A = this chain, B = another copy of it.
Amino acid sequence: MSNTMRALVFKEIGRTAVMEKPIPEPGPEEAVIRTTAALICTSDVHTVKGALPVPAGRTLGHESVGVVHRLGSAVTGFSEGQRVAVNAVTPCYRCSYCQRGFTSQCGGPLGGYKYTGQIDGNMAEYFIVPAAQANLAPIPADVTDEQAVYACDMLSTGFMGAEHAQLQFGETVAIFAQGPVGLCATMGANLMGAGQIIAVEARPERQELAKRFGADTIVDFTQGDPVEQIMDLTGGEGVDAAIEAFGFPQTFEACVRVTKAGGRVSNIGYHGENPNPLQLPLDAIGLGMNDKSIHTGLCPGGSERMTRFFRLLQSGRIDPTPMTTHRFGFDDIERAFDMMSSKEDGVIKPLITF
């Protein structure tokens, strides 16, 4: 048995490569997973473009599932060969940020996001799991790898968008952009009691998925100002909450505008592409007094949350796999990565199998 493995790495700005690396060894609190399936995330595309400074040779990837290869000495309750999923965010659960419940901010801002940014990512044949006791989520027998891998980032981020929208049952919500996390936000809002979901999206294949996942109405921003369209759809009053799943100042501002007084703006878009600050227009926030609130956040990690997604998958309440538009073996990982970068062929999520 070889002690090396292949990994997709960052080479230099704009370039990736597949590299041989030693199979990692777990520290006492860690585990090593042999990867069986993974998804490519647009944020890795951003990273390769230079959005996040990473050293050359750093493995990419943060959406992977697999089987336990080796366990650190302090990790109990798991066994080698067990199928597990690991969230993109792997908090220590013990620092002051984690103790206060802000596990995605483990150790400081965005610190729970360790793969790629702080350590090797997991688009590789094997990968390390920090604080494995808290971050290994056993996959039930009746949940497939393909289903489970969506819980690693897409579902967790999208559902956080819906959670931060703080919907009372029957309330109205607008969701800006129906890429993978926007689609998962739609699924989450639908599952958490929304009464009317307005999805803003122009691509037909994404519009169709949005409807399948629970959107009641589609607003096509190529057919007119989405703010006006949403105000019309809500009798001029606006929505109870808006979810920003695009990552641009214009959509963020639109979210602030379409919410009624007392409304919540829940940001899940990654705002690393446009350097301008986000803006809160004074009229849209009632000069600072109209009881609106703005919420930001990063994919919540941890095994307990993963387990709750698995229940929803097991009972058939959600099924994210229609988002898998393409499938590749790891041999074709660079081609898959290029496709995610160009967004060609209507790609939503390419699934990689090992």
Within 8 A of B (CB), among A252-296: 252, 260-262, 267-272, 275-282, 285-296
Contact flag A281-B288 (CB < 8 Å), given A93-B99, A261-B110, A303-B96: no
Given contacts A169-B188, A272-B287, A305-B99, contact A196 B311 (CB under 8 A): yes
Cβ–Cβ contact A293 & B291, under 8 A: no
**In the assembled complex, A298 has its CB within 8 A of some CB on chain B:** yes
Q: How many residues of A contact B (CB 8 A)?
A: 86
Check: A204 CB closer than 8 A to any chain B CB.
Answer: no
Bound complex: CA A302 to CA B29 (Å): 19
Taken together as a complex, chains A and B put the C-alpha atoms of A351 and B109 apart, in Å, by 41
Closest B residue by C-beta to A261: B105
Residue in contact with A134 in the complex, picked from B94, B102, B133, CB distance below 8 Å: B94
Q: Given A94-B134, A170-B311, A311-B172, are A277 and B288 also a contact pair (CB < 8 Å)?
A: no
A102-B304 contact, Cβ under 8 Å, with A195-B315, A315-B216: no
A57 proximal to B (CB < 8 A):
no
Known A73-B28, A104-B291, A294-B293; judge A275-B286 contact (CB<8 A).
no
Closest B residue to A247 using CB positions: B288
Contacts of A275 in B (CB 8 A): 282
Instruction: Kindly state whether residue A98 has any CB partner on chain B within 8 Å.
Output: yes
Within 8 A of B (CB), among A287-327: 287-298, 302-305, 307-312, 314-315, 317
Contact pick for A109, options B244, B286, B308, CB 8 Å: B286
How close is A321's CB to chain B, nearest CB, in angstroms?
Answer: 18
- Known contacts A296-B292, A308-B169: does B262 contact A100 (CB below 8 Å)? yes
With both chains docked as a complex, state the minimum distance between the C-beta of A266 and any C-beta of chain B, in angstroms: 10
Which listed residue, B92, B159, B193, B310, touches A191 by the CB 8 Å rule? B193
Nearest to A162 among chain B residues (CB) is: B169
A263–chain B nearest beta-carbon distance, Å: 9
Q: Which residues of chain A from 38 to 52 have a CB within 8 Å of any chain B CB?
A: none
**Residue contact A102 to B262, C-beta cutoff 8 Å:** yes
Is A171 an interface position by the 8 A CB rule?
yes
CA distance A222 to B49 in the complex (A): 42
Please give me the residue from chain B that is nearest to A274 by CB atom: B282
Q: Which residues of B contact A308 (CB under 8 A)?
A: 168-171, 195
Asked if A97 is an interface residue, CB under 8 A from chain B, the answer is yes
Q: Does A74 contact B (CB under 8 A)?
A: yes
B-binding residues in A (CB < 8 A): 27-29, 73-74, 92-102, 104-105, 108-111, 131, 133-134, 159, 163, 168-172, 188, 191-193, 195-196, 216, 244, 247, 252, 260-262, 267-272, 275-282, 285-298, 302-305, 307-312, 314-315, 317
Besides A195-B317, A278-B285, 11 more A-B contacts (Cβ < 8 Å) are: A93-B99, A95-B134, A99-B304, A110-B261, A170-B311, A172-B311, A192-B193, A195-B314, A271-B285, A277-B281, A286-B298
